[in-house]
Structure 1
Amino acid sequence: MDIADLQARLDCVAQGWTPQQRLHIGNVAWAYARGDGGTAPDVALTWGSPLHGFADIWLPGTAALHLTPGLPAHQVATVVDEILAVAPRVTLKASLQHAELVRALKQRGFRRCDGPWFAQLWRSLTDLQERPVPDGYTIRQVRPDELPARVDVHRRCWQPARIKQMLNLPVTGDEGDSSYSLDKHLAVIGTPPYRGELDLVAEAPDGTLAAYGLGWLDPRSKSVLFEPVGTAPDHADRGLARALCTEILRAARELGATQAVVGPRGDDAYPMPRRLYEGLRMREVGQVVSFTNR
Structure 2
Amino acid sequence: MPPRIRTGGRSLAPELVAHLDRWVAEQPFSIDLHSGDVGWHLRHDDEALDGAFLGWEVDGGLAAAGLLDGGVLRTSVAPAHRHDEALATVVADGCAGLGYVDASAGTALRDELLRRGWSADPDPWVLLHRPLTERDAPPDDPATRPLDGPDDVAARVAVQRSAFAPGSTFTPELWRRMADGPTYDPRFEMLTWTPDGEPAAAATGWFAGTGRCAILEPVGTHADHQRRGYGRRANLAVLGALARAGAGGVRVHTPASNEAAVRAYESCGLRAVDWTVALVAPGRHDGGHPSG
The alignment's TM-score, normalised by the length of structure 1, stands at: 0.80
| The one of 94, 103, 116 aligned to 2:111 | 103
Distance 2:147 2:140 in 1: 19
- Three-state SS of the structure 1 residue aligned to 2:136 is coil
Aligned-pair CA distance for 1:216: 0.8
Aligned-pair CA distance for 1:288: 3.3
| The one of 68, 77, 84 aligned to 2:88 | 77
Distance 1:288 1:34 in 2: 27
Q: Which residue of 2 aligns with 1:15?
A: 22
Distance 1:88 1:256 in 2: 41
* Count of matched residue pairs: 266
| The one of 187, 195, 204 aligned to 2:177 | 187
Distance 1:56 1:264 in 2: 18
- Cα distance change, pair 63–258 in 1 and its aligned pair in 2 (3 A): closer
- Three-state SS of the structure 2 residue aligned to 1:70 is helix
Relative contact order (C-alpha < 8 Å, sep 6+): which is higher? Answer: 1
Distance 1:222 1:44 in 2: 22
Distance 1:200 1:58 in 2: 26
Percent of residue pairs identical: 24
- Three-state SS of the structure 2 residue aligned to 1:264 is strand
Report if the CA contact (8 A) 1:131-1:246 is conserved: no
Q: Which amino acid aligns with 1:277?
A: Y
Q: Which residue of 2 aligns with 1:204?
A: 194
Aligned-pair CA distance for 1:254: 1.3
Aligned-pair CA distance for 1:58: 6.6
Aligned-pair CA distance for 1:189: 0.7
Q: Which residue of 1 aligns with 2:62?
A: 51
Q: Which residue of 2 aligns with 1:145?
A: 150
- Three-state SS of the structure 1 residue aligned to 2:173 is helix
Q: Could you list the per-position Cα deviations for residues 55-79 of structure 1 after superposition, in whole angstroms to 9, with x for gaps in the alignment?
A: 35577x5433332233133234323
Q: Which residue of 2 aligns with 1:166?
A: none
- Cα distance change, pair 131–112 in 1 and its aligned pair in 2 (3 A): farther
| The one of 119, 122, 126 aligned to 2:126 | 119
Structure 2: runs of 5 or more not aligned: 1-7, 284-292
